Amino acid sequence: MDFKVIYRHMQSSPEIEAAIKRDMAKILKFLENERTPVYVNLTITPGTPHAHHEVELLVKSPHYDLFCKEEAPTFFVALNDVTDTMYKLLEAEKRKIDNGHKEKKRMFKGF
C-alpha cells in the first residue's frame, strides 16, 4: 500500500502526525486486504485567507476509485470529517461489489 501525506503551504507537526495516524487507521485497516496496487493520498491545505482548512483524501485500487474533500474551521475537524466520509464511501462500494458477486452466484446456480 502506498500512503502519502501531502502538505500544501505548511509544515508537519507532531500533533498533526498523531491525528493523521489516529484518524487514518480505520481507512488503512479497511484496505489492508485489498489487492495491490493501492494508493492513498491525503492532501492538507491550510486556510490562510479564511479560517477554513481543507483536507482531501484519494483512494485508488483495483476495486475503488474514490475522492472526498472536506473543509472545516480546524484541521482536526476536517481530517475527522474526511476520514468518516471516506469510510462510509468505502463501505457502500464494498456492499455494491459483494451484492454483484452474490447476484452472479444466483445466476449460475440454476445451471
Query: C-alpha angle with apex 14: 60 to 31, nearest 5 degrees?
Result: 20
Its domain, for residue 58, covers 2-109
Q: Which of 64, 62, 63 is nearest to 86 (CA)?
A: 64
Number of domains in the chain: 1
Q: Which of 33, 64, 48, 66 is nearest to 56 (CA)?
A: 66
| CB atoms closer than 10 angstroms to residue 22 | 13
Q: Residue 82: in which H helix or E strand, if any?
A: helix 75-109
CATH number (domain holding residue 77):
3.30.160.100
More confident residue, 50 or 111: 50
Residue 43 φ then ψ, to 5°: -115, 130
Give the whole-angstrom CA distance, residue 24 versus residue 80.
9
Strands 53-60 and 65-72, bridge-based pairing: antiparallel
Q: What average pLDDT does the chain have?
A: 89
Q: How confident is the model over 26-78, as pLDDT tens digits? A: 999 999 999 999 999 999 999 876 678 999 999 999 999 999 999 999 999 99
